[in-house]
Amino acid sequence: MVTRVGVLTIKELEDLFVPLLQNCINVIELKKIHGGILKYSLTQSNFLVTKMVDVCDIGGDLEYASLLFKQVNEPNVFLYNAMIRAYTHNHTYGLAVDVYKQMLRDSRAENPILPDKFTFPFLIKSCAGLMCYFLAKQVHAHVCKFGPKSHSITENALIDMYTKCDDLIKAQKVFEQMTERDVISWNTLISGHVRLGQMKKARSLFDKMPYRTIVSWTAMISGYSHMGCYADALDVFRQMQTAGIEPDDISIVSVLPACAQLGALEFGKWIHMYCDRNGLLRKTYICNALIEMYAKCGCISQARQLFELMLEKDVISWSTMIGGLANHGKAPEAIQLFQEMLRANVEPNGVTFLGILSACSHAGFWNEGLSYFDSMRKDYQIEPKIEHYGCLVDLLGRAGRLRQALDIIEEMPMKPDSKTWGSLLSSCRTHSNLEIAVIAMEHLLELEPEDTGNYVLLSNIYADLGKWEAVSKMRKLIRSQSIKKTPGCSLIEVNNEVQEFVSGDDTKPFSEDIFCLLELLALHQDRTKYLVDIMPDDASE
């Protein structure tokens, strides 16, 4: 039977409202359209209410969507899906699960409402957002019960859910049972391994991929950078270029920390030019990463130049530049830039204060450093972390105020780490304070008993004070405990490739040639010194 309202059927009236809802851009317009729907008694139309919920989803008005949904006496699966989708999109994951539970209760009615392939992807995403592993397994069981048997979007959502719940075994099992894997399947599983630091498994999957996107390459680059495998990060970035994949902003931000840590300046400069050519320097976070790269590669002037050219600076921009100036011993410039930051009405954060405290430490401005430390808490309500206390200890230690530094350590609200005690021990050698050095060493022995540097440092303090018997005891202690010194290493960049040299390692190609060249340089240096020593005083005239 066809129901008519006036001379139009319900279907014809619904069709009249569909274009209005499709062109609706905000909830204010939606409410006007809703008035017309009320006028024609169409509030029980699942079709129109689903369309209205979709508009609320885009506008983020979930309260209005909920009211619309609750007024429908017999919602169908499409309306249920729309509500689950809206709650998931707006990160109200618990409410999405509640709607699904209501759907299951309604499925017991005479006309059951069963979930379909459009229900599960968003429901699974909500489970992943809730990080509820027990719920995730229940939903997976419902996928097996209600179907579909094979649906790549649902299966990809399951892989993502299990990786976020840290169960990569289940994620791998879903992946292996898929009849058709797309690039999203591979990327999701790779990203899961990367997030948990399992780079070998991630690389194995990456190498087996039939087709790679920029997301695949970026996942590997960021993973290697995060794990400190900087040379591998650069290598993957180069392979990506060889494969003809253009870097995007995310891949560039991922590889720049590797350039900074390796000192790969030429590579970093190439990235800077690439960003300039492709208009990426308009993005603040790209400039921030480049500034950090230049600062860590020793090019503080280039970092400052880029900083001054930035159109928009955020707190990260200011903090990175202040920290770079501090690390290059330019304390007055760092402090001046901090004042400029305050005048620009940019509120500092914890990282900013780390930079300014470091600047004061390197310059010996201990009084100013104490003032900034107090200001951090009083003026900006930033609770100092262990790094801030470490900077303060280093600041006071360099200034020779060792007792005050020790008091700071003992009053810290958290347990001091080895870096804090190590900083104090280093300052004790500078100022020949054996009493506090022994206190620091006692704590370091508990925190890192196998670090030979601490033993050597205390031994040097004894030697500086002429306590040779104590020096002998320290050396015997080192030998008796078979403590091994961590070998030193250095990195150089040659022809856009970073080479690492470790003390005692002769496995590098051309090692014999390198050693011969070093001997020649040593002989040349000795000969030059000899000529200078025998040269008459007036020879330069």
CA pair distance 513, 518, nearest whole angstrom: 9
pLDDT at 531 over 80: no
Can you tell me the distance from the alpha carbon of 352 to that of 341, in angstroms, rounded to the nearest whole number? 10
Nearest to 122 by CA among 164, 144, 89, 147: 89
Q: Report percent pLDDT > 90 for the chain.
A: 60
User: Can you give the pLDDT at residue 16?
Assistant: 86
Token readout for 52 is: 């209205």
pTM above 0.75, yes or no: yes
Distance from the Cα of residue 174 to its chain's centroid: 28
Among 237, 286, 279, residue whose Cα is nearest residue 262: 237
Q: Residue 255 pLDDT more than 80?
A: yes
Q: Is a pLDDT exceeding 90 seen at residue 95?
A: yes
The residue type at 241 = Q
- Residue 493: its pLDDT value, please? 55
Reduced to 3 states (helix: H, G, I; strand: E, B; else coil), residue 414 is coil
pLDDT of residue 481: 61
- HEC string of 250-265 equals HHHHHHHHHHHHHCCH
For residue range 405-421, what is the model confidence (pLDDT) as tens digits?
999 999 999 999 988 98
Res. 522: pLDDT tops 80: no
The greatest distance separating any two alpha carbons of the chain, rounded to the nearest whole angstrom, comes to: 120
Least confident of 83-92, 262-271, 329-338, 460-469: 460-469
User: Closest by alpha carbon to 488, among 509, 508, 504?
Assistant: 504
What's the pLDDT score for residue 257? 95
Q: What is the pLDDT of residues 434-486, one digit of tens each?
A: 888 888 888 887 787 776 777 777 777 777 777 777 767 767 666 666 555 55
For the chain, the domains span 191-311, 313-384
Q: Is the pLDDT of residue 318 over 60?
A: yes
pLDDT of residue 534: 56
* Burial call 54-92: b when 16+ CB within 10 Å, e when fewer: bbbbebebbebbbebbeebeebebbbbbbbbbbbbebeb
Instruction: Tell me the pLDDT band of 518, cut-offs 50, 70 and 90.
Output: confident
Q: What is the tens place of the pLDDT at every residue in 203-241?
A: 999 999 999 999 999 999 999 999 999 999 999 999 999
pLDDT band at 1 (very low <50, low <70, confident <90, very high): very low
pLDDT at 440: 85
> In the predicted model, what is the mean pLDDT of residues 141-161?
89
End-to-end CA distance of the chain: 117
What pLDDT is recorded for position 541?
Answer: 43
Q: Dihedral angle at the C-alpha atoms of 198, 204, 206, 211, nearest 10 degrees?
A: -150
For CA atoms 374, 380, 385, 391, the dihedral sign is: negative
As a whole number, the mean pLDDT across the chain is: 87
pLDDT-based confidence at 248, cuts 50/70/90? very high
Helix (H, G, I), strand (E, B) or coil at 494: strand
Predicted confidence band at 513 (pLDDT cuts at 50, 70, 90)? confident
Q: Which two tokens stand for residue 467?
A: 């306590």
| Band (281; pLDDT cuts 50, 70, 90) | very high
| Least confidently predicted of 69-78, 104-113, 215-224 | 104-113
Is the pLDDT higher at 14 or at 352? 352
Which region among 100-109, 330-339, 465-474 has the lowest average model confidence (pLDDT)?
465-474
**What DSSP line would sit under 31-44, residue for residue?**
HHHHHHHHHTT-TT
User: What tokens does 132 get?
Assistant: 């509820």
- Alpha carbons within 13 angstroms on the beta-carbon side of residue 261 total 17
Write the DSSP symbol of residue 345. Answer: T
The tens digit of pLDDT for each residue in 294-306 reads 999 999 999 999 9
Catalogue the long-range contacts made by 62-65 (C-beta closer than 8 Å, 24 or more residues apart): 62/86, 62/87, 62/90, 62/92, 62/95, 64/27, 64/30, 64/31
Answer yes or no: is pLDDT of 364 > 90: no
pLDDT tens digits for range 8-55: 787 888 888 888 888 887 888 898 999 988 888 888 999 999 999 999
Average pLDDT over residues 376-390: 93
What's 186-249 look like in SS3? HHHHHHHHHHCCCHHHHHHHHHHCCCCCHHHHHHHHHHHHHCCCHHHHHHHHHHHHHCCCCCCH
Predicted local confidence at residue 151, as pLDDT: 87
Tracing tokens 């050519």 back to the chain, one arrives at: 277
ω into residue 449 within 30 of 0, thus cis?
no
Whether residue 540 has pLDDT greater than 50: no
The secondary element (H helix, E strand) that includes residue 492 is strand 489-494
d(CA 134, CA 124): 12
pLDDT tens digits, one per residue of 74-91: 899 999 999 999 999 999
Q: What is the mean pLDDT of residues 321-347?
A: 95
